[in-house]
A and B are shown apart, each in its own frame.
Chain A
């Protein structure tokens, strides 16, 4: 068994404390490789229970303008997938369970190519596990297309976090949760990532439908930006997933990392308080 910090442990702990877990997302390499490590450590310190590290990708179809802008900045800064592994290693060393969220092609293409007879999937899983990573969230890979990843994740004892959506049929929810390990990612809205002023009325029914099929924790993401929204979601979900709002805190402080980190800490504390007052 892997000794990497585990998402199940984090969700169990939160559940034992009668609250939801706070899951925080930031892309690797934003605002720089070192800056992203520093920022994520602040998020861990200020109350994130689980960390999602995004791998910036050239064609992020699930992301709204905020995360696109951060990913673009990271790519222009020259982020490599090997840098992602370094960020995972540094963050996992804090003891926070650390999952990677990535579009599929960088995984399939990791460290090689099919044309040379090597698939990157197995290598990615091995390197992620040895960096201390807990698993992978795959926004554009569904279990029915994910056989190779599922096999590699099982081999390396990694979490497989697939997404369910308000449009998912009951059959697909059951198929998806059966393939998940760690937790299930419920997308609260039909749309892309980005902070929204109101929470979605689609999320609670989706969580309920998801729970009918699994005992795994269910995290809700897409659109959460403050403690009040976090509290509302924490009243029915096991995890509150926040991404764009963290990115926004740093984007709002260009060339001022200390200022960005202060904003990040304040936001994390607000959200961490939110998941505790549900």
Chain B
């Protein structure tokens, strides 16, 4: 990955993608730390020993390369070749392990003994705690108090892995406030502490650095597609919250002009309801957490709370490189509602025997729509790679509630939770 050519999609020295997107809107007190991190990351990525060490841990500990799986029954349904990039099979069950292993390895190289992280549903927190345990680093995770209550199992995982978990009560007590609190910790502890940022957002160098650590997804998928099918895909698809799994997939294909690139944003109850997290589709240009990007905000530039059934996508900003790719038209971004995502979750479970994370189910829904269109236009050899960024075990509580699973009164020989029925409509009638 270190010998990848600098492309026109790279950020400039100040971290701007194109003229407008990204940058570093941060307190002066953190600039020295961000400069130090930028230098360390550039230096590391140019060091074959570091790159080899990172690849070795990804391979031997995290399970990379993840499989590229031809979902034949789904393919038959949509009339195109659907390939799933199985990041759900990675250690800890998602693409996020790549990012934290990269950042933790860099932390070790920088000689810092402590890491901090923010987390929403707890996935990045668990991944950070895992990486910290692996490298023997002290780990503190900031998590919105609303989320620590909703995600007790992940709090327990982090505790078991040896991390401290600090509930954040300020603001809306969710992910964005956990980021704020982690930044407050960092400004006071920066000598000894690295901030393992959980997505490809935030101030420079995080959007570029997180992309570099997750771009194995796309590098592998591109090579696997060529090796297994002898062609590049016609299109690739991923879900986009902050956008780390998506940029990790997209990066390898940006210069392949024949490859359509699709990001699917959390549409919540529907963009028209205002209860969504479709930042690019429905947000406005602004600065949040140190980068200029699309932000869900009110007329005064105050951040507005986002809504998604998927905690991992529930963020009112988005990585600035996605904003850039959207603005120049290299990638397209469209919303997928909660209901569409849950339908896709059930569909993938029953068609392929794979229970995806709800985040990834957004990509499944959107990716299958793309596959249907391309299959109709180009025939059944049209190929779509969908990033299956994580597994669904963590989402079973939500699935139980959504589909009415596990209710003794509803136990029948037939599968419950008909994906064609929105259970909330039944509730409304009841």
Say yes or no for B14: interface residue by CB 8 A criterion: yes
Say yes or no for B302: interface residue by CB 8 A criterion: yes
Bound complex: CA A108 to CA B31 (Å) = 21
Given contacts A80-B300, A109-B297, contact A114 B285 (CB under 8 A): yes
| Per-position 1/0 for A159-171, Cβ under 8 A of B | 0001111111100
| Per-position 1/0 for A104-120, Cβ under 8 A of B | 11111110011100001
Bound complex: CA A57 to CA B204 (Å) = 22
| Per-position 1/0 for B284-307, Cβ under 8 A of A | 111111100001010111110000
Residues of B within 8 A of A166 (CB): 29
Is there an interface contact between A163 and B180, defined as CB atoms closer than 8 Å?
Answer: no
Say yes or no for A190: interface residue by CB 8 A criterion: yes
Bound complex: CA A167 to CA B303 (Å) = 29
Is there an interface contact between A61 and B27, defined as CB atoms closer than 8 Å?
Answer: yes
Residues of B within 8 A of A108 (CB): 285-287, 301
Is there an interface contact between A142 and B287, defined as CB atoms closer than 8 Å?
Answer: no
Residues of B within 8 A of A36 (CB): none
Residues of B within 8 A of A169 (CB): 32
Is there an interface contact between A168 and B31, defined as CB atoms closer than 8 Å?
Answer: yes
Is there an interface contact between B297 and A105, defined as CB atoms closer than 8 Å?
Answer: yes
Residues of A within 8 A of B285 (CB): 108, 113-115
Residues of A within 8 A of B176 (CB): 59
Given contacts A142-B31, A164-B28, contact A109 B286 (CB under 8 A): yes
Bound complex: CA A163 to CA B26 (Å) = 11
Minimum CB–CB distance from A126 to chain B (whole Å) comes to 17
Number of interface residues of A (CB under 8 A): 45
Residues of B within 8 A of A139 (CB): 27
Is there an interface contact between A165 and B284, defined as CB atoms closer than 8 Å?
Answer: no
Is there an interface contact between B32 and A167, defined as CB atoms closer than 8 Å?
Answer: yes
Residues of A within 8 A of B33 (CB): 167
Is there an interface contact between A162 and B28, defined as CB atoms closer than 8 Å?
Answer: yes
Bound complex: CA A171 to CA B289 (Å) = 25
Residues of B within 8 A of A114 (CB): 20, 284-285
Interface-facing stretch out of B76-84, B181-189, B348-356, B368-376? B181-189
Is there an interface contact between B187 and A190, defined as CB atoms closer than 8 Å?
Answer: yes
Say yes or no for B225: interface residue by CB 8 A criterion: no
Say yes or no for A62: interface residue by CB 8 A criterion: yes
Is there an interface contact between B302 and A142, defined as CB atoms closer than 8 Å?
Answer: no
Given contacts A65-B170, A192-B184, contact A145 B190 (CB under 8 A): no
Residues of B within 8 A of A105 (CB): 286-288, 295, 297, 301, 303
Given contacts A64-B184, A81-B300, contact A190 B29 (CB under 8 A): yes
Say yes or no for A140: interface residue by CB 8 A criterion: yes
Is there an interface contact between B28 and A168, defined as CB atoms closer than 8 Å?
Answer: yes
Say yes or no for A211: interface residue by CB 8 A criterion: no
Say yes or no for B216: interface residue by CB 8 A criterion: no
Given contacts A64-B184, A80-B300, contact A104 B25 (CB under 8 A): yes
User: B interface vs A, CB < 8 Å?
Assistant: 14, 20, 23-33, 170-171, 176-177, 180, 183-184, 187-188, 190, 284-290, 295, 297, 299-303
5 nearest A-B residue pairs (beta carbon): A109-B301, A165-B29, A191-B188, A114-B285, A167-B32
Q: Known pairs A105-B288, A165-B31, A167-B28; list 19 more (Cβ under 8 Å).
A: A57-B302, A59-B171, A59-B180, A59-B289, A61-B27, A61-B187, A72-B170, A81-B300, A104-B25, A105-B286, A108-B287, A110-B301, A142-B24, A144-B14, A165-B28, A165-B32, A169-B32, A172-B32, A190-B190
